Structure 1
Amino acid sequence: MVIFRYSFLWLFLLNVPLVSMAETVSIVPTVFYSYRNFEYSVGGAGGVEGSINSVGLGVTAIYQQFYVDIAGEENPNASEEETNNLLFTNTVDFDRNDVALSLGYAINDSISTFIGYKYGKSTITARPNSPFAGEEISLTGYGAFIGAGGGWSVRNWGFISFSAAYAQLDSTYRDLTVDVVDGNARGTSLSIKWKAPLTENFFYDFSLIRHDYRYKDFEKIDSDISEQILSLRAGLSYRF
């Protein structure tokens, strides 16, 4: 039995000194682009390897040491990927959608903590050159994450930060063989980010994000599923 499993944890780390200095509510909308490379395998027996290009939007509200953030990300066009699994033997179209809500607190000017909830759905569709043309595999993951991060100013050039998070998710998997089954996942995310001003309130940033997840305890499925996702992200934000 061959299945596909994919989940993406979205992680946001705010510029901590801006949080601690805020005396009133600030609103920070953000737009970003991501290049995501992923590897997925089922019990070591093969899976999907490839990359997708995604765009995202978000908005953050900041008050004193607290912030709340919501953001969504998706690839606007299906991405054709190579696959070596037993079900889709040629290429597939891959789509991914994510939404995340997080609440953070700046302990001081260098360290912050956060908690949040995320939802993500992946859909894989067999292309016409596959014997299963038109068949779909979908995976939905949803649950909580918790993490912490730190950051420092680099002279007057900008701000560098890092963060680490742990997530525990419920999930629903569907394909043409097993229909719908439930399971769970646990994993970690690590990120490093560079952020710098273009003007007093207009900023750009670059991020490198790594996700490692293992999925298990599925009904009707014996194998565990593992995935690794490496994302390179570029963003623009404006503080009102």
Structure 2
Amino acid sequence: MKPYFLTVLLFCGVAQASELSLTPNVFASYRYFEYSVGRGGIDNNLYSLGVGLTATYGRLYVDLSAEKNTTSGKEPSPTGTAYFERQDAAVSVGYGMNESISLFAGYKYGETRIVAPPTAIAIGSEVSLEGRGFYVGAGGGWAIADNHLLSFSAAYAHLRAQYDESQQIRHGRGDASGTSLGIRWKTHITPRLSYDLSLIRHDYYYKNFEDLDFNISEQILSIRTGVSYQW
């Protein structure tokens, strides 16, 4: 589930006819990031940029997106500073069931990378945590006056996880599950150009690792603003 595809595009009034429409978009995010393992972890901010492209045909749409932090996040501690990064990518396919509800499914990839003194967050000096897999979800939207749209979405993902730690040379595959909830306000500046403001919450839980005796949880709260243009 991406922070970025939680969009109910079919209700924007730009794809009512059975013709192909392409809508590229760019967005910037403030992300509050929490990573917990054992008695250590990270709890700090990230700033990200992302791009996306949505193709619609009648009630059917396909959405592509990717997002990455612009600078590394920092988590100071008495024993050193941890630096962390987060990147995500996703593709989804959706269908508008009626004028207010759509269903979607897709595939997502996400990676967290952390570099820190081993004692700073109790997870080793260099860690990579990846999750990839499928998700399903639903969303709805309502037109407000002529130029505004309020929409929401919810999704559930089941992922395969990969954990790699350089210092203690620990590696393991596991399972992960996660949910995403999003609410979005979109305003048309012109019939084709629009901007939006979104609030998105992701919760991921990683467990059942081979040869590892701990679980990991991640929470990401994103406030995002973006612009899009319909061709």
Q: What displacement does 1:80 show?
A: 1.7
Q: 2:202 aligns with which of 194, 211, 220?
A: 211
Aligned to 1:61: 55
Letter in 1 for 2:194: F
Letter in 2 for 1:108: N
Q: What displacement does 1:12 show?
A: 2.6
Instruction: Show CA shifts across 1:43-71 (max 9, x none).
Output: 4x231110100000111110001000111
Does residue 150 (structure 1) correspond to residue 150 (structure 2)? The answer is no
Q: 1:40 aligns with which of 35, 40, 48?
A: 35
Q: What displacement does 1:13 show?
A: 1.2
Does residue 75 (structure 1) correspond to residue 75 (structure 2)? The answer is no
Aligned to 1:170: 160
Q: What displacement does 1:93 show?
A: 1.4
Contact 2:108 2:132 in 1 (8 A): yes
Query: Tell me, what secondary structure is at the counterpart of 1:21?
Result: coil
- Structure 1: which 4+ aligned runs deviate by more than 4 Å? none
CA distance in 2: counterparts of 1:57 and 1:163, whole angstroms = 19
Change (3 A) 1:188 1:19: farther
Q: What displacement does 1:178 show?
A: 4.1
Contact 2:184 2:199 in 1 (8 A): yes
TM-score, normalization by structure 1: 0.87
Q: What displacement does 1:90 show?
A: 2.6
Identity %: 47
Query: Tell me, what secondary structure is at the counterpart of 1:108?
Result: coil
Query: Tell me, what secondary structure is at the counterpart of 2:102?
Result: strand
1:1-240 equivalences under 5 Å are: 9-10=2-3, 11-17=5-11, 18=13, 21-43=16-38, 45-82=39-76, 89-126=79-116, 135-175=125-165, 176-240=167-231
Q: What displacement does 1:23 show?
A: 2.0
Unaligned runs of 5+ in 1: 1-7
Letter in 1 for 2:47: N
Q: What displacement does 1:136 show?
A: 1.4
TM-score, normalization by structure 2: 0.90
